[in-house]
Amino acid sequence: MNIRKNTTASMGRVILLSFFIIPVLSGCFSGKNKTTNTVKKESAELQDVAKIENKSRPNIVFIMSDDHSERAISAYGSELINTPNIDRIANEGAIFKNSFVANSICGPSRAVMLTGKHSHINGFTDNHSRFDGNQPTYPQYLQKSGYQTAVVGKWHLHSDPVGFDYWEILRGQGHYYSPEFITNTPNEITVVKDVKNKKGKVIKTEYENTYRGAYATIKTGDLALNFLENRDKSKPFAMIYNHKAPHRNWMPNVDDLGVIDTSNLKVPDNFFDDYENRPAAKLQELEVNDMYLSYDLKLTEADYAGDLADISMGWGKQWQALYGRMTPSQKSKWDAYYQELNKEYQNVKGDEKALLVWKYRRYMHDYLSSIYAMDKDIGRVLDYLDEQGLAENTIVVYTSDQGFYIGEHGWFDKRFMYEESMRTPLVVRYPAKIKANQVVNEMVQNLDYAATFLDFAGIDIPDDIQGISLKGRLIDQEPIERDALYYHYYEGIEKEHKVAKHEGIRTDTHKLIHFKDVGLDHFELYDIAADPSEMNNLYGTASISKIQSELHSQLLKVKEQYQAPVISK
Ligand code: SGN
Ligand code: CA
């Protein structure tokens, strides 16, 4: 194998490496949690897990996408797109109709999943945090008990993965075209890079693979299939297979252009929301109307010349850089398709409302096209499991790091505790033990995944894990007992998209949210059954006063249960 030495100044030593996994790079298990808060210290150590010699332990394939609204999955009744492969998982197993996250943003949601603990405990509260990989996570427990573990695709936790025999992850958010991955297992295209701190001292060596001309979704599937094909067949495996799609800026695969048609798509009923009685909703910057004509909506400079400030704000350049990652043949397919599609912009640009509807349709075109490619890629992995006779004894999960707004309230993005972004899809298949065609209506949360995997793998669930195992519900239809879910979003109005900091609880019927940020301190209360779109904030109205005080007590109780810091009113 040749490991290429990058020629730039920041890159360095080529070291001899074997073809095999390099344990030293995948971290160690003994480190103490370095976070400071007292609550976190208590949960620092990886508890003792014995090697379990049991040939029938299930394999795990955990598939996660980025920003996939359940309203863009046909198993959830979507009329926007067909997702036959995600639907297969749902139909051959269970679909969770009330599945939620604890903090609707990428890194924090992933940290909750890995640890089974809320953000204030695992320390990764917002996207600018760095995950303390030395704290216990379910992959570490699985690995220690005898699983071969791997993660491929989007990671976005800033620190290197710990607890994985093999990892190959997108650098940061990753790119749709010609993506760069970093890995602990170099291959023939690997470039070795030294990472230096501010003082110029080398703090670690990275192995980077740039797959020129590849489309990230397909490359991620290739990596997943390679891992499965070359795995250690004497062990059960647990593979996390994470797509970047359909994250902003939603670049479809050129080979799929034309498959999705949104030219007549209607906007959602509350697309022209005026945010009355919801001050935080009024403050946000999530509106489809604010999308960049270039970076988000794929117009060329020639299309919008002189119309808006895209170029001066740097977004035209950003878009050019992403477009520039395509090969000449990809560019020509892209141009041939979009040049034709972009003509409509000239017809609508003089009419504010028509332009906004056009923006929505273009957004949905690209978002759905990205999902189309991803669903196909999931199909490749499902087919492989079938061909290899692995499907029966493998737990396959499909979920997203959170939900997403696809025009509801006039928005894109996530972050709010409102339904569209607090929800996340969750379907689970395990033919050996889980009956097909199950619909689970009880509320579950991404907090529950770690406990569930450990339980299925025959590992005692450590006491400090805050989520609950869903195994009993999936196998024996035992009801899930939980009255309320806790939610906390930390970034705030000074960060990207200006969504105020908030926390709250959701019960089966109601939601109480406390927004508290610079210049904001207010509650919202929704009757979700009567008002699923959360347009009518009932907080403070006489008819709801009893429920309101019950929700307040419940919020306090839930916070105490999860050891969450008190926020003063
Ligand atoms: C980027 C996007 C945001 C998005 C965050 C977080 N902006 O910063 O729109 O909310 O990621 O997404 S972009 O201009 O860079 O596209 S997350 O899924 O990683 O949490
Ligand atoms: Ca995300």
Ligand 2 centroid from CA 371, angstroms: 14
pTM of the model: 0.92
Cβ 342 vs Cβ 335: under 8 Å: no
The DSSP bridge partners found for residue 237 are: 148
Both tokens of 477, joined, read: 């239809």
DSSP letters for 342-400: THHHHHHTTSHHHHHHHHHHHHHHHHHHHHHHHHHHHHHHHHHHHHTT-STTEEEEEEE
pLDDT score at 36: 29
Sequence letter at residue 273: D
Q: In what order do the strands lie in the sheet with 520-527?
A: 485-489, 502-506, 510-517, 520-527
pLDDT score at 315: 86
Largest CA distance in the chain: 73
CA 331 to chain centre: 28
Ligand 2 centroid from CA 375, angstroms: 17
3-state secondary structure of 88: helix
Q: Which ligand is nearest to the CA of 68?
A: 2
pLDDT score at 309: 65
pLDDT score at 568: 66
* 209: preceding bond cis by omega (within 30 degrees): no
Cβ 464 vs Cβ 115: under 8 Å: no
| Residue labelled with tokens 């298949």 | 429
Mutate to test the pocket of ligand 1, among 155, 173, 421 (most ligand atoms within 8 A of CB): 173
In terms of Cβ atoms closer than 10 Å to its own Cβ (0-12, 13-18, 19+), residue 438 is middle
521: how many CB neighbours lie within 10 A of its CB? 14
Angle value at C-alpha 469, between 464 and 475, nearest 5 degrees: 160
Ligand 1 centroid from CA 110, angstroms: 15
**Nearest CA residue ID for atom 1, ligand 1:** 248
Instruction: Determine the length of the chain.
Output: 569
Q: Which residues contact 345 (CB under 8 A, 6 or more apart)?
A: 299, 303, 304, 358
Mutate to test the pocket of ligand 1, among 248, 285, 318 (most ligand atoms within 8 A of CB): 248
Name the helix (H) or strand (E) containing 438: strand 438-440
- Site residues for ligand 1, CB cut-off 6 Å: 66-67, 105-106, 127, 156, 173, 247-249, 413, 496-497
327: how many CB neighbours lie within 10 A of its CB? 14
CATH topology of domain 489-561: Arylsulfatase, C-terminal domain (3.30.1120)
CA–CA separation, 339 and 202 (whole Å): 47
Which of 3.40.720.10, 2.40.10.170, 3.90.950.10, 3.40.640.10 would CATH assign to domain 8-252+364-486?
3.40.720.10
Q: What is the DSSP letter of 215?
A: B
User: Could you identify the atom of ligand 1 that is nearest to the CA of residue 67?
Assistant: 18
Phi, psi of 376 (to 5 degrees): -60, -40
Domain spans in the chain, listed from the N-terminal domain onward? 8-252+364-486, 489-561
DSSP letters for 225-293: HHHHHTS-TTS-EEEEEE--TT-TT----GGGTTS---TTPPPPTTTT---TT-HHHHH---BGGG--T
3-state secondary structure of 504: strand
Q: Assess whether the region 8-252+364-486 and the region 489-561 belong to the same CATH fold.
A: no
User: Could you identify the atom of ligand 1 that is nearest to the CA of residue 248?
Assistant: 16
Q: Are strands 166-170 and 180-183 parallel, antiparallel or unpaired?
A: antiparallel
User: Could you identify the atom of ligand 1 that is nearest to the CA of residue 415?
Assistant: 10
CA distances in angstroms from 326 to 9, 177, 247, 248, 346, listed in the order given: 26, 6, 18, 17, 26
Both tokens of 192, joined, read: 């070795």
Name the helix (H) or strand (E) containing 59: strand 59-65
**Nearest CA residue ID for atom 10, ligand 1:** 413
Q: Which residues contact 219 (CB under 8 A, 6 or more apart)?
A: 179, 181, 211
**Nearest CA residue ID for atom 7, ligand 1:** 248
Give the CA dihedral 367, 373, 376, 377, nearest 10 degrees: -120
Both tokens of 391, joined, read: 């499907």
Each residue's pLDDT, cut to its tens digit, for the chain (569 residues) gives 444 444 333 333 333 333 333 333 332 222 223 322 333 434 457 777 877 776 789 999 999 999 999 999 999 999 999 999 999 999 999 999 999 999 999 999 999 999 999 999 999 999 999 999 999 999 999 999 999 999 999 999 999 999 999 999 999 999 999 999 999 999 999 999 999 999 999 999 999 999 999 999 999 999 999 999 999 999 999 999 999 999 999 999 999 999 999 999 999 999 999 999 999 999 999 999 999 999 999 999 889 887 776 776 788 889 999 999 999 999 999 999 999 999 999 999 999 999 999 999 999 999 999 999 999 999 999 999 999 999 999 999 999 999 999 999 999 999 999 999 999 999 999 999 999 999 999 999 999 999 999 999 999 999 999 999 999 999 999 999 999 999 999 999 999 999 999 999 999 999 999 999 999 999 999 999 999 999 999 999 999 999 999 999 999 999 999 999 987 65
pLDDT score at 437: 98
Cβ 429 vs Cβ 386: under 8 Å: no
User: Could you identify the atom of ligand 1 that is nearest to the CA of residue 109?
Assistant: 20
| Residue labelled with tokens 């094909």 | 229
Mutate to test the pocket of ligand 1, among 126, 170, 247 (most ligand atoms within 8 A of CB): 247
pLDDT score at 51: 78
CB half-sphere exposure, 557, CA atoms < 13 A:
11
User: Could you identify the atom of ligand 1 that is nearest to the CA of residue 173?
Assistant: 19
CA–CA separation, 552 and 543 (whole Å): 16
Ligand 2 centroid from CA 50, angstroms: 34
Ligand 2 centroid from CA 1, angstroms: 35
The DSSP bridge partners found for residue 177 are: 215
Q: Which pairs with CB-CB distance under 8 Å and at least 24 residues apart come from 256-263?
A: 256/369, 256/372, 256/373, 257/333, 257/334, 257/337, 257/338, 257/369, 258/337, 259/369, 259/372, 260/81, 260/365, 260/368, 260/369, 260/372, 261/365, 262/361, 262/362, 262/364, 262/365, 262/368, 263/344, 263/361
Mutate to test the pocket of ligand 1, among 127, 157, 424, 489 (most ligand atoms within 8 A of CB): 127
